[in-house]
Chains A and B, each alone.
Chain A
C-alpha cells in the first residue's frame, strides 16, 4: 500500500493516488496526504487505478476527506476504479456523495 499526491500547478487541485489495498492500515498516510498546510483545495481527485481493494474503514476515510473538504460542498472525484472497488462504492451508494468515474 502506498499513497502519492500530486498538486496542480495553480495549487487548486490535489490528486491522491492509492496503490494496493486501501484499508485501516493506510489511515495515517491517507490523512497526511490531504491534511497539509496548503489545503483545503478546491478540487480533490482520488485516483484508484492501482487500488485493489477497499474496506469499510477506507469508506470512512473518504468521508473524513469529504468533511475536511467542506462536507456537502466538497468537490471530490474518484477516478479509475476497478470492478471490485467500484462494487464496494456502489453497494454503499457513495455516488450520492462523490463523483465516481
Chain B
C-alpha cells in the first residue's frame, strides 16, 4: 500500500518554538516571565494591559497566551472574552497568571474563557509542562478542524458529482412518459443513487411499458446498473419489442455487468389501452396491488430478481389481467413495507392492505398511502426510500401525451427493396418477428415518422395470421371475462402443439421522392376464413374483436384477401 502524505503536517507537539503572548502590567513580573519562556526556546510578544493584549493578539497571532488577571484599562477576564471571540473556532489556549488563590477567583478565570491558571510566583517546570500540554491540545484541535473540513469538502464534491451524474441519468432515463395522466409516482430526487428506478415509455402500437426497479446497494453500483437498464428499456420499447424480450435483454445485461451478489428487484408491466389488459412480470419486489372493479388482487413476485439468472434459465413469463377504465395497479419498492417507526417496527403489508381496502374507491388513495407511511415512520423518517407508482387504465386519447417525435432519418437508405420472412413451428410460438421487420422498414429514409402506423399494420396482420389463421382462435371469446382468460389459455396450449405451421411475411417497398408505397403480404398455413363476411359487418363499438380489419382499412389504401382466405395483401402509402 502506498501511503500518501497528508496535506497537513502535524506540528511537533513538544519541542517546537511557539509564539507566546505575555500580558502583565507589572514590568518586573513581565520581564521574569519573558526570561523563563525565552529560555525554553519560544518567541515572546508582550503586552502591558488588556487593551494592548487584544491588539497584540490581532496583529501577532500568537499560539498561546499568558494573561494577568488584574490589569488597568481592561482586566484579563474581559481581554480573555474578547480574544476568545476573535479567535472564533480556532483554539488559542489562555493561561491566567494570578496571585489570587481563593477558589472563587480561580474559577472566575476559567469562566471568562481561560483554559487554565498559573499562580505567582512562577514555577518554570510547571509553566513549561502547561505550555506543552496546551500546545498538544492546540495541535489536536487544528488536526480535527482540518479533517472535518476535508470531510465536508469531500462530501460537497460527492454531492456535486451526483448532481451531474443525475443530470446525465435523466437525459438517458427520463425521455419517457412518466408525466402521462394515468401515472402517479413517488421517487426521491436523487433516487438513482439509492438504487430506485422508475421508467415508463409508450409503445409504438399504443399502450405503455412501466418498470420499477430497486437495485441492491446504494451509490455508484446502483446507478451504474440503472443506466443500461434505462437505455435497453427505452430503446427496445420504442422499437416495438415485447415485454419478455426486453426483460431478457435487461437481465443478461445486468448479469454481465454487475458483480455477483448485486441484482435488481423489479416489476415490469405492459398496459394495453386497446384491449384493456395488463401484463405483469415481477421479480423480488413486494406484491403489487391490482384494484380491479373495487376489489384488491395481490400480484406476488413469481421470479428471481433481474441480474441473477443466466439467459438459459431466465423466466420471462408474465401474468395477464383484465382492467377496466379506472382500475389501478400499484407497485412499490420495499421502502413502503419496511418503513420503520421509532420502535423499529415495520409498516408492513397488513397495514398497507388495510389502508388500501379502506380507501379502495378513493381517488386520493395514492396520497393516503404516502401520508400514512410518513406519519407511521414519524420523526425517524422512513428508513429506505419510498418509491411507488400508480398506473390507471384509461382511454388512450386521455393520457395527455403526444406520440414522441422521432427525428426523421437522414442520409441514404434503401428505397426500393423486397424481402420475405417465414417463421415455422416453435419459432412461431416463441419469437416475435415484428420488431425485426419494423427495423428493416425503418431503414427507408424518412419512414421513422410513420413508425406507429406501420407497427400497427404489421402487428395486426401478423397476429391475425397467427392467432386466427394458424392457431384458429376465435376473437369473439375475448368479449367476456371468462372468455378472455380462456382465449389466452387456449393460445398457450395450441402454441405448444404446432406442427407444419408457418407464417410468411413479404414486404415490398417502392420509394418515390419523399414518400413511397409499402406492400405487405402475409400468408399463413391455416385454412383461411370467410373474409367477405367480416367485410360486410361493421364492428360494434363495445367489442374489441373485428376492429382489426376496419383499422387496417383506415390506414391502408388497399386491403385485399385471396382464396381461401389465408392470404392478405395491403398497400400503405406514405408521403413526407
Contact = CB atoms under 8 A, between A and B. Distances in A.
A63 B284 CA distance: 14
Interface stretch (B91-99, B170-178, B260-268, B459-467): B260-268
Nearest to A59: B216
B283 interface: yes
14 contacts: A56-B216, A56-B265, A57-B261, A59-B216, A59-B263, A60-B262, A60-B263, A63-B263, A63-B308, A91-B284, A91-B285, A91-B287, A91-B300, A93-B302
Q: Interface residue tally of chain B, by bracket?
A: 20 to 34
Interface of A: 56-57, 59-61, 63-64, 67, 91-94, 96-97
A91 B348 CA distance: 14
Nearest to A96: B304
A96 B261 CA distance: 16
B283 A93 contact: yes
Contacts of A67: 260-261
B335 to A, nearest CB: 11
Contacts of A64: 260-261
Contacts of A94: 304
**CB-CB nearest 6 A-B residue pairs:** A60-B261, A56-B216, A64-B261, A92-B284, A67-B260, A93-B304
Nearest to B214: A56
B303 interface: yes
Nearest to B195: A56
Nearest to A91: B301
A95 B74 CA distance: 80
Contacts of A59: 216, 263
B354 to A, nearest CB: 17
A96 B314 CA distance: 11
B539 interface: no
A29 to B, nearest CB: 15
Interface string B108-150: 0000000000000000000000000000000000000000000
Contacts of B263: 59-60, 63
Contact of B308 (A57, A61, A91, A97): A97
A92 B216 contact: no
Given A92-B284, A93-B305, 14 more contacts: A56-B216, A56-B217, A56-B334, A57-B216, A60-B217, A60-B263, A64-B260, A67-B261, A91-B284, A91-B287, A91-B300, A92-B265, A92-B304, A93-B301
Contacts of B287: 91
B286 interface: yes
Main secondary structure of the interface of A (DSSP, over half): helix
Contacts of B308: 63, 97
A94 B301 CA distance: 11
Nearest to B307: A63
Interface core residue of B285, B286, B308 (most chain A CB under 10 Å): B308
Contacts of A60: 216-217, 260-263
A94 B265 CA distance: 12
Interface in B278-320: 283-287, 300-305, 308
B284 A93 contact: yes
Contacts of B216: 56-57, 59-60
A61 B216 CA distance: 11
Nearest to B286: A91
A75 B308 CA distance: 17
Contacts of A56: 214, 216-217, 265, 334
Given A56-B216, A57-B216, A59-B216, A93 B303 contact: yes
Contacts of B334: 56, 91
Contacts of A93: 283-284, 301-305
Interface in B240-268: 260-263, 265
Interface string B313-336: 000000000000000000000100
A18 B334 CA distance: 23
Contacts of B286: 91
A63 B261 contact: yes
Nearest to B258: A60
Contacts of A61: 261
Nearest to B305: A92
Interface string B195-227: 000000000000000000010110000000000
Given A63-B263, A93-B283, A57 B217 contact: yes
A84 to B, nearest CB: 8
A61 B262 CA distance: 9
Nearest to B217: A57
Nearest to B310: A72
Contacts of B301: 91-93
A47 B376 CA distance: 33
A91 B332 CA distance: 13
Contacts of B303: 93
A83 to B, nearest CB: 11
A88 B285 CA distance: 9
Interface core residue of A56, A67, A92, A94 (most chain B CB under 10 Å): A56
Nearest to A92: B284
A56 B260 CA distance: 13
A91 B263 CA distance: 14
A53 B262 CA distance: 19
B216 to A, nearest CB: 4
Nearest to A63: B261
A30 to B, nearest CB: 11
Nearest to B384: A55
Contacts of A63: 260-261, 263, 308
A56 to B, nearest CB: 4
A59 B307 CA distance: 13
Nearest to B313: A72
Nearest to B308: A63
Nearest to A57: B216
Nearest to A72: B313
A96 to B, nearest CB: 6
A97 to B, nearest CB: 7
A62 to B, nearest CB: 8
B490 to A, nearest CB: 28
B325 to A, nearest CB: 31
B12 to A, nearest CB: 38
A13 to B, nearest CB: 23
